[in-house]
Amino acid sequence: MSGGGQGREFERIARLFRPLASGAPGAFDLLDDAAALPSRPGCDLILTKDALVSGVHFLPDDPPDLVARKLLRVNLSDLAAKGATPEGYLLALAWPDGMDEAGQAGFASGLAEDQAAFGLQLLGGDTVATSGPWTLSCTMVGWTPSRGMVRRADARAGDLLYVSGTIGDGALGLHAARGELDARLSPEQVAALAGRYRLPEPRLELRDALRAHASACADISDGLLADAMHIAEASGAGLEIALDRLPLSDAAAAWLKGESDLAAALLRLATGGDDYELACAVPAARAAAFEAGAAHAGTPVAAVGAFTARPGLRASVRGQAVQPSALGWEH
């Protein structure tokens, strides 16, 4: 893991990050400029990469340990969508001016906490300084059985659209974290939503059900409508979705009750992003088996629509067509 050639930075890497690589022989105690992963017979190496920028993907005053954990989790969510088992990760960190030793140590402690939770090791990376916002990038590495990765592009007309968990908590959670939700929610509900924004839950436990039964999958980072349409478009299909069938948390349901325009509110939940749940296509004949596999994994799933031969999106609320102005987050 390179530190830009600065002696002090190499000392910091040794102190904060070398312990995070101790479980990975191919990381060479971060003393080299690269890592080595031996091949696994019968497996494919799966790679994904996501970046976070302060003020865009997390709040500037979010605790560094939570930022570290979110960085790992949004990348783990991509592996979850592929049906992959995580192995390790590479980091690129641009420390902002004013980031003190305590903040950097807190960041490393957050990495350590989620490494233990998800069975990861740090494999290497780079650290630099910046006069701009705190910028972080993670390359996550995992494995699937050979030719077993669940792709976006294999949905077929007639497949059902399933989602994991609950939808809309990430978007509401951003407002909760900013203190922008009104008094219709309890303090506990506000805290739960803020927690969903800051610490998404990668659905890695669904890997067996996805590999066995799903034809396509994507994680929901930009918004359910946007990411489900990514599957449809990559597969040459269309999509029908009933927004009133979205699974909601207690907090999101309480928020929804106070909204006068049901369709507009449901569109807000379906396009807000930051849920990091999974959207997947499952052939109708495999639906019962998929639901059973998800239940065995302890993860709730719900069918909210279907892929169609007719291109495009058709969204509805209580049987009435609705037209979103945008499908999700625009980068």
Whether residue 53 lies inside any domain: the answer is yes
309 located within any domain: yes
pTM for the whole thing? 0.92
- 154 and 231 Cβ atoms separated by less than 8 Å: no
Number of domains in the chain: 2
**Which domain does 121 fall in, by range?**
7-145
The predicted structure's pLDDT at residue 144: 97
Name the one residue in this structure whose structure tokens are 């007639």: 158
CATH code for the domain of 309: 3.90.650.10
Say if residue 63's pLDDT is above 60.
yes
Give every CB contact of residue 164 below 8 A, 6+ residues apart in sequence: 203, 206, 277, 278, 280, 294, 299, 300, 301
Cα distances from 310 to residues 233, 244, 280, 287, 320, in angstroms, run 11, 22, 18, 22, 18
Residue 274 lies in a domain: yes
Report CA Rg, the chain. Answer: 21
Q: What is the Cα–Cα distance from 280 to 228, expressed in whole angstroms?
A: 8
Question: Quick one: what percent of the chain has pLDDT higher than 90?
Answer: 84
- Average pLDDT of every residue of the chain: 92
pLDDT digits (tens, 9 = 90+) for 251-279: 999 999 999 999 999 999 999 999 999 99
DSSP string, 85-130: EEEEEEEEEEEETT--HHHHHHHHHHHHHHHHHHT-EEEEEEEEEE
Give 198-224 pLDDT, tens digit per residue.
999 999 999 999 999 999 999 999 999
Residue 61: pLDDT over 60:
yes
Q: What is the pLDDT of residues 146-195, one digit of tens each?
A: 999 999 999 999 999 999 999 999 999 999 999 998 778 999 999 999 99
Same structural domain, 140 and 164? no
Q: Which amino acid is at 5?
A: G
The larger pLDDT score, comparing residue 39 to residue 330, is at 39
Q: How far apart are CA 142 and CA 43, in angstroms?
A: 10
| CA 196 – CA 177 distance, rounded (Å) | 10
**Tokens 């709730």 — which residue?**
300
Residues 181, 124 share a domain: no
Q: Is residue 154 assigned to a domain?
A: no
Task: Flag whether 2 is in a domain.
Answer: no
* pLDDT value at residue 205: 98
Domain final residue pick, 93, 122, 145: 145
Q: Across residues 310-322, what is the average pLDDT?
A: 97
Q: Which residues contact 277 (CB under 8 A, 6 or more apart)?
A: 163, 164, 165, 166, 167, 203, 219, 220, 224
108/184 same-domain check: no
Mean pLDDT throughout 71-82?
98
- Regarding whether 197 and 85 lie in a shared domain, the answer is no
Assign residue 111 the CATH number of its domain. Answer: 3.30.1330.10
**Which pLDDT belongs to residue 28?**
62
What pLDDT band is residue 10 in, cutting at 50, 70 and 90?
Answer: low
